[in-house]
Amino acid sequence: MTQNLEIYDTTIVGGGPIGLFTAFYSGMREMKTKVIEYLPFLGGKVPYFYPEKIIRDVGGIPEISGEKFTENLIKQAKTFDPTIILEQQITEMEKLEDGTFLLKSANGDIHHTKTVILATGFGALKSIKLTLPDAEKYENNSVHYTIHKLASYKGKKVLISGGGNSAVDWANELEPIADRVTLVYRKTTFPGIESNVTKMMNSTVQVLNPYEVIELKGHDDQLTSVMTKHVESNTKKEIPIDAMIVNHGFQIDLGSIADWGMQMQNGAIQVDNKMATSIPGIFAVGDIATYDGKLNLIAGGFNEGPIAVNHAKLHISPTDSLKPIYSTNYEPFVN
């Protein structure tokens, strides 16, 4: 079966931010690299859910939009011409007698690789949708689960339902653009980054907590108001709105990868300090990986990728000496 298959040193499953930077570093280590992404584009959830969201927690980048950030990552990942496969979801894995792997996609394609680096994020993400009557009727016109163009909310009365980092971030981003921003959250305290919460609380954003949305009102496919309720006193308050953004989190589905036999913990793959899973030759980085002290930041994943690459290279050639390598001392970049 493997005779006619081109074998790669490492195959990175996932073409989001962490997978892209991992591909760059793998190329710098002169490993033959393949990236497989199940979406029809690279960048993962960032360009899909947050193209205009401003990212500020990557060192050396004061602020950058999700769209521009993705463009830069793709350009960087392509530095060493990795093979990039789009619109394929890896479903099956077979470890061969020689220690290499066959990866099979849902469409039947087979990929042969010496090592695997899983960078799938949380897997397939689907926004948790409203379960209120008529919610589906308003979708895509006045009920949204992500923001693609901030300017489309200019002058509108916007209500955000949710209290996590994304909800607070969108409230801060929309505050100078929309006519009015109201954030409704069912708990008394916010779990997000403190500085962002403080910025929101000190702005013109109207914060209602602990409240929840209990009814949608409108005509045709356009919302005109929502009814909210205080979760403790049951006091109701109607709020006129033009648009509603729902940030209630995501449904996470790792798919069949969760059945490959790797040690799991709370829905993520357990790794050691080498980013190695319980299956020798398979590594995991980014949101899909978990270990003591894990911090789910893009910047953290940018460190995990090179660690996995280095140990994937050692897995292939365990007797070779692996010296540290940096872009500042990498000969092709220096000369």
Per-residue tokens: 110: 């087979």
Examine the fold and report which residue of 248, 270, 289 is the final residue of a domain before the chain moves on: 248
Q: Average per-residue pLDDT in the chain?
A: 92
Q: What is the pTM of this model?
A: 0.76
The answer to whether residues 142 and 230 belong to one domain is yes
Structural domains of the chain, count:
2
Q: Is 60 exceeded by the pLDDT of residue 1?
A: no
Q: What local confidence, expressed as pLDDT, does residue 73 receive?
A: 97
Per-residue tokens: 255: 């798919």
Pairing of strands 268-270, 289-290: parallel
The answer to whether residues 77 and 49 belong to one domain is yes
| pLDDT, tens only, 104-138 | 999 999 999 999 999 998 766 677 889 899 899 99
Q: Is 90 exceeded by the pLDDT of residue 146?
A: no
12 bridge partner residues:
35, 117
The answer to whether residues 98 and 208 belong to one domain is no
Secondary structure of residue 50 in the 3-state scheme: coil
Q: What local confidence, expressed as pLDDT, does residue 2 receive?
A: 63
The answer to whether residues 83 and 183 belong to one domain is no
For residue 173, give Cα distances in angstroms to 52, 154, 217, 223. 9, 11, 26, 22
Q: Is 60 exceeded by the pLDDT of residue 218?
A: yes
User: How many Å apart are CA 106 and CA 117, to the nearest integer?
Assistant: 18
Q: Is 80 exceeded by the pLDDT of residue 335?
A: no
User: How many Å apart are CA 147 and CA 169, to the nearest integer?
Assistant: 11
Phi then psi dihedrals of residue 253, to 5 deg: -140, 105
User: How many Å apart are CA 335 and CA 329, to the nearest integer?
Assistant: 10
Q: What local confidence, expressed as pLDDT, does residue 220 receive?
A: 86
What would the mean pLDDT of 4-29 be, rounded to a whole number? 96
DSSP 100-119: -EEEEETTS-EEEEEEEEE-
| pLDDT, tens only, 284-297 | 999 999 999 998 88
Q: Is 80 exceeded by the pLDDT of residue 253?
A: no
User: How many Å apart are CA 238 and CA 217, to the nearest integer?
Assistant: 10
The answer to whether residues 238 and 166 belong to one domain is yes
Range(s) of the domain holding residue 180? 129-248
| pLDDT, tens only, 298-330 | 999 999 999 999 999 999 999 988 888 888 888
The answer to whether residues 75 and 99 belong to one domain is yes
